[in-house]
Amino acid sequence: MRRSHSYSKRELLNSCLRQFFYEYYAASKKLPFDSARKPLVQKLKEFTGVYLLAGEKLHWFIEQFLKKGPSSRDWAERTSTSGFDLAVRYSRDPEANAGLQNLAYPPPMLLEFYYGDPRAEELAEKAREALFRGVRRFLEHEPVKKLWSEITTGEHYVEQRVGGLPKFDEFGIEGQIDLVGRDTERVRVVDWKLGVSGGSHDSLQMLIYGLWAEKKFRVEPSQVSVRRVFLGDGTVEPDRPLDRGIMVVGKARMLQDIELMKELDPYGRTGMEEVFSPCHRENVCRQCKYQGICPDSRSGLAPKQTSASLMVLPSPV
């Protein structure tokens, strides 16, 4: 595993350490893991879920629209929804739709269909509606339009990759910022969400925003503000200014994560799956790509035996 920290690593550390192991160690070509399951874990790593895909397509639409301008609107909307639909079509019947894997951008397998979740169709429909609603709210909801219109009239960056930040305990920090704008007084960060309002800001993301703005614009955290926009219900949260306290909390929490990752690293590198505790939570397991290989899964589901799923079953030894 690369010595780095990111929002996706934070999410897995919080939800299930076993899943963290499959994602960052077991699937790695260079590291040892049960040779009977390794090919399958590598295949499962490429899977996604309906809501993750809808969120990814929504972010892609916004990126294209803000970078290419309003003339790209119809194309970007069509491309994002047809990409989602293609993944559903493929996942419903991978055998009949095997040819879709030869496309320039092959659709991913959706885990809800692969594992025969009885709610797969319903969840896919709801995620599609969320994507459609998110695009509409971005384009038509006045408070949202006002926000991105204001920011994009000045110096701004869309889907900005964060790199080159100082290392912490030899770990780099990786991340991406959805939209950031700068005027003479402040730096404004916007975080698009597919869902409805709720939850709190993630301390790692706040830290990343502050560190990046400090490096890029030489500004203090107090000159940086963050706001989340929930395109599921149109909520534009008030600006949340950063301050030194938020940065200290973010850094302390990040160092705890790094400590845990360092402690687990030797076990991950030697393929010791059992050291990484399973979460044993049905709702988490049902959204986990690795439920089909995890001996401790509580999802109650198993892969559907299509020829495409057989394709990823391990070869006999």
Min dist. Cβ of residue 254 to ligand SF4 (A): 23
Contact 87, 107 (CB under 8 A): yes
Q: Tell me whether residue 259 or residue 274 sits nearer to ligand SF4 (CB atom).
A: 274
Q: Tell me whether residue 110 or residue 279 sits nearer to ligand SF4 (CB atom).
A: 279
Q: What sections of 45-141 are H helices per DSSP? A: 50-68, 73-92, 111-114, 120-140
The residues, ordered by sequence, that sit 6+ positions from 69 with a Cβ below 8 Å of its Cβ are: none
Backbone angles phi, psi at 161, to 5 degrees: -75, 140
Identified binder of ligand SF4 from the candidate list 12, 16, 162, 264, rule CB under 6 A: 16
Q: Tell me whether residue 41 or residue 151 sits nearer to ligand SF4 (CB atom).
A: 41
Restricting to residues 263-292, name those near ligand SF4 by CB under 6 A.
Answer: 278-279, 284-285, 288, 290-291
Min dist. Cβ of residue 293 to ligand SF4 (A): 8
Q: Tell me whether residue 49 or residue 83 sits nearer to ligand SF4 (CB atom).
A: 49
Min dist. Cβ of residue 22 to ligand SF4 (A): 6
Q: Is residue 88 a contact point for ligand SF4 (CB under 6 A)?
A: no
The count of other CB atoms within 10 Å of the CB of residue 162 is 18
Beta strands in 95-203 (DSSP E): 155-162, 172-173, 175-182, 187-193
Q: Is residue 50 a contact point for ligand SF4 (CB under 6 A)?
A: no
Min dist. Cβ of residue 296 to ligand SF4 (A): 5
Q: Is residue 13 a contact point for ligand SF4 (CB under 6 A)?
A: no
Query: Which x/- pattern over 231-270 shows residues binding ligand SF4 (rule: CB under 6 A)?
Result: ----------------------------------------
Q: What number of chain residues touch ligand SF4 (CB under 6 A)?
A: 13
Min dist. Cβ of residue 108 to ligand SF4 (A): 18
Contact 243, 221 (CB under 8 A): yes
What one-letter code names the amino acid at 68? Answer: K
Q: Is residue 18 a contact point for ligand SF4 (CB under 6 A)?
A: yes
The token duo for 269 is: 């590198």
Enter the DSSP assignment of 2: -
The residues, ordered by sequence, that sit 6+ positions from 70 with a Cβ below 8 Å of its Cβ are: none
How far apart, in whole angstroms, are the C-alpha atoms of residue 207 and residue 156?
Answer: 20
Min dist. Cβ of residue 260 to ligand SF4 (A): 16
Backbone angles phi, psi at 316, to 5 degrees: -65, 145
The count of other CB atoms within 10 Å of the CB of residue 113 is 23
Q: Is residue 297 a contact point for ligand SF4 (CB under 6 A)?
A: yes
Q: Name the residue among 138, 235, 219, 222 with its Cα closest to residue 179.
A: 138
Classify 199 in phi/psi space as left (phi over 0), alpha (psi -120 to 50) or beta: left
Q: Tell me whether residue 136 or residue 281 sits nearer to ligand SF4 (CB atom).
A: 281
Min dist. Cβ of residue 20 to ligand SF4 (A): 8
Q: Which residues bind ligand SF4 (CB under 6 A)?
A: 16, 18-19, 278-279, 284-285, 288, 290-291, 294, 296-297
